[in-house]
Amino acid sequence: MPVCTNYGFHLPPCRALCRQAREECEQAMLSDGLKWPDKFDCTRFPEHHELMCVLSLNHSNFLTTPIPTQAPPNFSHSWRSGAPMYPAGPSLTQCVSNADCVFERSVCRAGECVCEYPRTWGPYGCEETQILGGQCTTDNQCSTVTPNAVCRDNKCACISPLTSYMNLACIHASGVGSLCYNDAQCRAVNTYSFCRFLVSQVVGTCACDPDQFIDIHGRCAPRLGGRCKRGTCSRKLGVASCQRGRESVLKCFCRKKAVQRRGVCVLR
């Protein structure tokens, strides 16, 4: 069964877990005249480094708790923009009590100075960790909270080709017809799309919402009466424009002095 999360989507099994299950079960199934189900073809599931997934029965590459404390880097005595970095020395890494740790919010654990979670080591000591979109100076600030995140242009962002999901996780974006494990992957490319599951709540392919159609570029485009964004009504709809309807939702409607004929707007 897929693993539920608090982030609005489930975790599919990793390919390695599928292979493990098949290796341990297939022989017993064959002895009873049962064939391994095609819908559990292990190539349908992601590798553990490609997407958040369940790696084993008691571990997943998404649910793994970040290490609460991290050892400090080997600081050298240098200056950047006039601000001195702390010099390297035994007092930074070795300790007997918290009093031996010179950095703010650092504590002594097992004879070594470490940062209190959720802080992490940075160039100038223990820095606050950040969610996606937060201000940062080092990759550690981002990856401690969100796996596969780095500090880019002083903001936490996902490693390409992953994309942010509600600033909570880095996921693979999927276009129409591509493999998906949740709706968020599809909507990262096409706002009005969803994951049409081939295996219930486990794996499927991205498809356009019913009020959309697939355009020549393979993207979801609104039909007449379909939800839209400014300027997204296809030329195939004729003289249509994206207008605010009765429900205060932008939809593609025929312009003034135009009528609808066979799903296309034409001038009277």
E-strand stretches of 95-172: 106-109, 112-115, 120-122, 125-127, 149-152, 155-158, 162-165, 169-172
Q: What percent of the chain has pLDDT over 70?
A: 79
Confidence of residue 72 (pLDDT cuts 50, 70, 90): low
Q: Do the beta carbons of residue 156 and residue 130 sit within 8 Å? A: yes
Buried b (16+ CB within 10 A) or exposed e, 223-235: bbbbbbeeebbbe
pLDDT confidence of residue 51: 66
Q: Which residues are CB-contacts of 5 (< 8 A; sequence separation ≥ 6)?
A: 11, 62, 63
Which of these, 114, 138, 124, lies nearest to 77 by C-alpha position?
A: 124
pLDDT in tens, 88-132: 333 356 788 888 887 778 888 888 888 887 788 776 678 888 889
Query: How high is the mean pLDDT of the chain?
Result: 79
pLDDT confidence of residue 83: 39
Read off the tokens for 227: 């939800």
Q: In what helix (H) or strand (E) does residue 93 lie, and over which residues does it extend?
A: helix 90-93
Q: Give the Cα separation of 53 and 2 in Å (integer).
A: 9
pLDDT confidence of residue 79: 33
pLDDT in tens, 174-191: 899 988 888 888 988 899
Amino acid found at 237: L
pLDDT confidence of residue 120: 80
Across the range 46-65, mean pLDDT stands at: 59
